[in-house]
Amino acid sequence: MSVGDPRDVVAAKRDGRHLSEQELAWFVQSYARGEIPDYLAAAFLMACFIRGLDAEETVALTRAMIDSGATLALRGISRPKVDKHSTGGVADGVTLVFAPIAASLGLAVAKLSGRGLGHTGGTLDKLEAIPGLRTDLEPAAFERQVEEVGCAVAAQTADLVPADGALYALRDATATVPSIPLIAASVMSKKLAVATDLVLLDVKAGSGAFMKTVDDAEALARACTRVADDWGRPCRAAVTDMSQPLGEAIGNALDVAEAVDLLSGRAHGRLRALAVMFAGEAVSRLTGAPMGEGRERAARAIDSGQALETFRRMVEAQGGDPRVVDDPAGVLPAAPVVRPVVADRDGYLAGVDAEALGRASGDLGAGRKRKGDPIDPAVGIVFRLKVGDPLQRGEEIGAVHARDEAAAEGCARRVLAAMSISEGAVEPPPLVHAWFGGSEGVG
């Protein structure tokens, strides 16, 4: 349909007017087809950023973005299908642990993932640290793998929600990323374009997240679940703690090694707890099992070795070296310099700037400054402390994996500067703040 002049749509939002479904659909799809120039779309995004979008407009924007391209029906998959998405964090390797757990319990995890963005890591970058592993799977191969193995993690193809690809790049270039309705439409368009039975969202809140406060993260979780409700897709969103790195590894190969450690049952902690919680949620929502039982089955999938075996099969199916499961250190790329990080005072960890750690790891080469930049899979930071932990001067609290001594030294200083230490004991933050969607508030 034609609404007329795109400047009228920009002016309407600039003046705070509610945009109709037709206006949004026409503007977004015309832009995706290259019929509206970037400068007008940039003005539109800034008007949306400043004026906001109400619930109806957010749904309409999401719908317009989905309608801009292909969708993935996943008709060849007989298992119950679940998708899990994180809004982005630091040491956030939940998908690497969640997917094999859920798959080993009979569910299908069809995961189209993104690359690292800003200071946050990306699942594709982490997995591609495994020698040989490919994430550019054709839709038919992706679907076959999900049916046979139970999980596949692949890059989103360019024909799926092309309007989001184009608008996201423009948002990145025009300082319009951190807008709750724009993020909700961006995330949900990609989730709803893939026909799963359940969407689980991990909405991060805190220093390492895009949403720095729990209130903003809760508003984002509500906006996302409202869009899913309107679409008729079951969706549950957890607002989870990102006031500190979730796991210990902030890099790419280092994250894979940590995931293997967790899946083998050797390691425990907040990352395992969150992956088990999401897998338990998926099992109970999709099979009708009580919540406690879902979580127990998820924990047993790790302890029995089934989840690790499923991870091995996923890696192998995607062309990666499956020996990574038996000997991660022998298979994964390693940095030439590994420098311990040593505490410079006694006390308790009172807080840590997770974004600063994400940026420090990115500057070692683990992240990219611009879309398309190469990354170094071997480098990164291991940070072992969690808020509330006691520490002693001289104690080894982590390590920097770097290309040279100077980079390692500078990064170790940044790690220490990111920490705040208290003399008295500190209460650890909760792992999960609240759940939204379905039966809200159930923990």
Catalytic residue among 190, 204, 222, 414: 190
Catalytic residue among 51, 79, 81, 85: 85
Interacting residue with ligand URA among 186, 240, 243, 244 (CB under 6 A): 186
Strands 380-383 and 249-251: antiparallel
Binding segment toward ligand URA, per CB under 6 A, in 181-189, 191-199, 227-235, 427-435: 181-189
| Contact predicate 58/182, CB 8 Å | no
Q: For residue 300, report the phi and psi dihedrals to the nearest 5 degrees.
A: -65, -30
Q: Does the annotation count 186 as an active-site position?
A: yes
d(CA 289, CA 125): 34
Kindly identify the residues of this chain, within the stretch 216-245, that bind ligand URA according to CB under 6 A. Answer: none
Q: What is the DSSP letter of 157?
A: P
Interacting residue with ligand URA among 46, 163, 187, 349 (CB under 6 A): 187
| Contact predicate 11/17, CB 8 Å | no
Q: Which is nearer to ligand URA, 328 or 358 (CB)?
A: 358
- Give how many residues touch ligand URA by CB under 6 A: 7
d(CA 168, CA 165): 5
Confirm or reject binding of residue 183 to ligand URA (CB under 6 A).
Answer: yes
- Least distance from ligand URA to the Cβ atom of residue 168, Å: 6
| Contact predicate 76/88, CB 8 Å | no
Binding segment toward ligand URA, per CB under 6 A, in 2-10, 90-98, 183-191, 366-374: 183-191
| Contact predicate 142/314, CB 8 Å | no
Confirm or reject binding of residue 87 to ligand URA (CB under 6 A).
Answer: yes
Q: Does the annotation count 190 as an active-site position?
A: yes
Strands 81-86 and 337-342: unpaired
Residue in the shown chain whose Cβ atom is closest to ligand URA = 186
Q: What is the DSSP letter of 440?
A: T
Interacting residue with ligand URA among 69, 88, 251, 328 (CB under 6 A): 88
For the chain, how long is the longest CA-to-CA vector? 68
Catalytic residue among 30, 104, 186, 284: 186
Q: Terminus-to-terminus CA distance in the chain, angstroms?
A: 45
Q: Which is nearer to ligand URA, 224 or 257 (CB)?
A: 224
Binding segment toward ligand URA, per CB under 6 A, in 21-29, 143-151, 179-187, 375-383: 179-187
Q: Does the annotation count 85 as an active-site position?
A: yes
* Neighbour count for residue 243 (Cβ, 10 Å): 19
- Least distance from ligand URA to the Cβ atom of residue 189, Å: 9
**Cα dihedral angle (374, 165, 215, 368), rounded to 10 degrees?**
10
Q: Point out the residues that are catalytic.
A: 85, 164, 171, 186, 190
Which residues of the shown chain bind ligand URA in the complex (CB under 6 A)?
A: 87-88, 177, 182-183, 186-187
